[in-house]
Amino acid sequence: MSRLTTVQARRALASAQKSGAGVPAYLRWVNRPLGGQAAVIAATWGWSPNGVTALSAALGAVGIGVLAGVPTWRAGPIAAVLLLLGYILDSADGQLARIQGRGGPAGEWLDHVVDGVRAPLVHIAIAIHLLRTDSPFWLVLIAGLFSALVSAWFLSQLLAEKLLPKVPRAADDSSAGVMNSFVKQPHDTSTTYLTLLFLGLPIAFAVIYTALFAWHVLMSAASMRRKYVQLAAL
């Protein structure tokens, strides 16, 4: 793939951006814009979308490894930074594909595989870290259940998207749309990554992480029920 100039890359990206409707706040206003900047840089360097996906996966893997392998408070902030950087590139690969006109099923599949592996592994790494730092067993158990829950939710959402009729999303910058983005923020993986910043404060981390798990339980149950009703009506 030939390299693009910065101006060409920015123009291509501006004409192929996704709507922010229904997207969590961090992803909508922080991660996607940063991912767009990373995609422009990657386009000027001649990188491929799959190469960006691979770098995203590598950063996530190192972050997960630090979280599981370093039983000190430093593991939390280091892992959070690495995972958030990987998350930026997770947005950049799709935007780069649109800049280069190279989007396709293979790239989308690879991106989903990386997401599907990384999400539960983060919580497994948290469980390992908690075990190595003699944290309460009930918190370790929550981390294990969290891993299973995010896998089940990811799979249910992915299958529902494939089975339900496609409905185009319109941009929604109204106050209701903005509020909806903040309501959905706890579901965004960035919230879990940011929670790792409190790993060195055991009580604060336990409260925040448990509350986040409880929110996921409630929202996933409501989401799965809604998707089932929609599919049963077909």
Angle at which helices 75-100 and 6-14 cross, to 10°: 90
Closest CA to 89 of 111, 68, 117: 111
Sorted by where each starts, the structural domains of the chain and their CATH numbers stand as 6-232 (1.20.120.1760)
- For residues 75 and 67, give the distance between their C-alpha atoms in angstroms, rounded to a whole number: 5
Closest CA to 81 of 94, 66, 93, 69: 66
> What pLDDT is attached to residue 176?
67
Q: Per-residue DSSP letters for 88-136? A: HHHHHHHHHHHHHT---HHHHHHHHHHHHHHHHHHHHHHHHHHHHTT--
- For residues 54 and 49, give the distance between their C-alpha atoms in angstroms, rounded to a whole number: 9
pTM tops 0.85 = yes
- For residues 198 and 209, give the distance between their C-alpha atoms in angstroms, rounded to a whole number: 9
Quote the tokens at residue 134. Answer: 């003699």
Quote the tokens at residue 143. Answer: 């981390």
Instruction: Give pLDDT tens digits for 184-209.
Output: 999 999 999 999 999 999 999 999 99
Residue 8: partners with Cβ closer than 8 Å, 6 or more residues away: 43
Residue by residue, pLDDT tens for the chain (234 residues) are 579 999 999 998 888 777 777 799 999 999 999 999 999 999 999 999 999 999 999 999 999 999 999 999 999 999 999 999 999 999 999 999 999 988 889 999 999 999 999 999 999 999 999 999 999 999 999 999 999 999 999 999 989 988 999 876 655 566 667 899 999 999 999 999 999 999 999 999 999 999 999 999 999 999 999 999 999 998
Residue 191: partners with Cβ closer than 8 Å, 6 or more residues away: 26, 185, 212
